[in-house]
Structure 1
Amino acid sequence: MTFKTFSLFTIIITLFFSSCREQPADKNKENHNNNVELDTSATQNAKVKEETKEDKEEEFVLTEDNAIEFFYEYNKTLTENTVKLTTRFGDIEIELYDNVPYHKANFIYLTKKGYFDNTYFHRVVKNFIIQGGNADNLETAKKRSEIGRYLLPPDTRKGHKHHRGTISMPSSEIDNPHMLASPYEFFIVVTKPGSYHLDGGYTPFGRVIKGMDVVDEINSQPVDDGDWPSQNIKIEKAEIIK
């Protein structure tokens, strides 16, 4: 074997073993890439689980079985007791009574949920009441469906009467011998000095502290035969102010 041939043979052998030594590095690199893919997959799974948990929390719906317990606990967390209703006639500010806990908690809960926004004062009885919280649109029906179907027990023995400016809750009209309250609606007494024949049958849970002139203006609007205002009177927004 000549020196030239031997040198060529040595180079080939050297290249062969160099190639063998580089392979583990490539394999490690491949494993590293796989680990990155696995880590990404794990992150995505954790994200999906978290989103599913949030969805379940958002899907909470009030029912006849859980409403009383829910509002009992919810009332303990409340520090607010004043709600402002905005209409095209002006604002109405309502102070809620602390000793009527279920009705107070219900009204604040619905306000924070945005339920009353874009509902109407849908019933106006001259020199008697204005009634709000309903609307003949899909938005309101959808909100009710998402919040839940439930009624509230009357709470009429707390010493509150239906004076002028009192906010009270009407009873449900469907199969309701115990005068359970319809939680989505309310009425404000306009009568001077009050409508005391309602005492004992309905639950006063607050009073107007500002904006009775707005209540009177709404009560003076023309209505049709069913006491529905000839022009819709929208509650543009309901918000907690303190």
Structure 2
Amino acid sequence: MKYLLYLSVGLIFFFTSCEDKKNTSAVPSEVTSEAEKNSEEKNDISEEKASAKQKRTYPEITNQNMVEFLTKYGAENPETEVLVSTQHGDIEIELYRDTPLHRANFIYLVKQKYFDGSFFHRVVPNFIIQGGNSDNVKTTKKRAAIGNAYLLPAELENGRKHSYGTVSGAKEYRENPDNRTAPFEFFIFLGPQSSTGHLNGNYTIFGKVTKGMDVVEKIANLPADEGDWPLQNVYIKAEVLQ
């Protein structure tokens, strides 16, 4: 009986010991996994901070420093080709060098990722599609960070006329006798020449579509509300090609 009692106690101790070892081995793996997760999150935060710090190296653009800043930026960033991507297809744009402030401004906005997440927010069949705005609060924050109070001087000396596929800057209407351009929005013209009377000489043309006018046409004909806002948002992503 004494031998059986010792044997029973020994078996209970053996099985209990195995179960504890199993549970103990599971805890460190969970802790290690959590530590790795925290490390990855810290790296992500560090990268975001580094990216934000890099973006802050540029000053806020104002009407006072705009010409100087964009002239210098344009000299350091001479690219003229941009890809605008949407869920309906891609649009390639060539920017003109004889509108240097508009070209530099557009390249700057693309490189600052301003257009990413914005929309083609106005579509008019046989006339224009207009992009660079959205109802997303991130767009408002991006404008504030870049400088939401400056306007670009009109660059109309080349005498260029609106034609199929030209890219122009949208215009601030109120108190704007000098036809200054609102820097964050642009439109692509696709209407007939008979529709250009109020555009020519009033809106700066700073580029043209070189590929993807079929996409522009598709976007222009999307269903829209009474304010010409597409019923389904047309998201933009832009990058510099060369």
TM-score range, shorter chain: 0.7 to 0.9
CA contact (8 A) 1:163 1:195 kept: no
C-alpha distance in 2, partners of 1:57/1:205?
A: 27
Amino acid at match of 1:66: N
1:152 paired with 2:133, answer: no
Is 1:123 the counterpart of 2:122? The answer is: yes
Aligned residues: 189
1:198-240 deviation digits (Å, cap 9, x = unpaired): 11000000000000000000001011111111111111x1000
Pair 1:230–1:179, CA change in 2 (3 A): same
Code of the aligned partner of 1:227: D
Q: Is 1:183 aligned with 2:183?
A: yes
Query: More displaced, 136-145 or 67-76?
Result: 67-76
When normalised by structure 2's length, the TM-score is: 0.74
Does the aligned pair in 2 maintain the 1:132–1:185 contact within 8 Å? yes
Partners of 1:194 and 1:208 in 2: CA distance: 20
Give 1:66 shift: 0.4
What displacement does 1:75 show? 1.4
Question: Residue 87 of structure 1 aligns with which residue?
Answer: 86
Q: Which residue of 1 aligns with 2:229?
A: 228
Query: What one-letter code is carried by the residue in structure 1 that aligns with 2:80?
Result: N
Task: Give per-residue Cα distances to partners, 1:129-152, cap 9 Å, x unaligned.
Answer: 000000111100000000002100
Distance in 1 between the 2:122 and 2:241 partners?
Answer: 26
- Structure 1: give runs of 5+ residues left out of the alignment: 1-50
* 1:59 CA drift (Å): 6.2
Are the equivalent residues in 2 in contact too, given 1:92–1:214 (CA < 8 A)?
Answer: yes
Q: Deviations over 1:99-133 (max 9, x none)?
A: 10000000000000000001000011121000000
Q: Which residue does the alignment assign to 2:17? A: none
> Identity across aligned pairs (percent)?
50
2:95 touches 2:103 (CA, 8 Å); kept in 1?
Answer: yes
Partner of 2:135: 136
Q: Using the alignment, how far apart are the partners of 2:194 and 2:158 within structure 1?
A: 17
CA contact (8 A) 1:133 1:184 kept: yes
Amino acid at match of 1:239: E
Q: Which residue number in structure 2 is paired with residue 99 of structure 1?
A: 98
Q: Which residues of structure 2 form unaligned runs of 5+?
A: 1-49
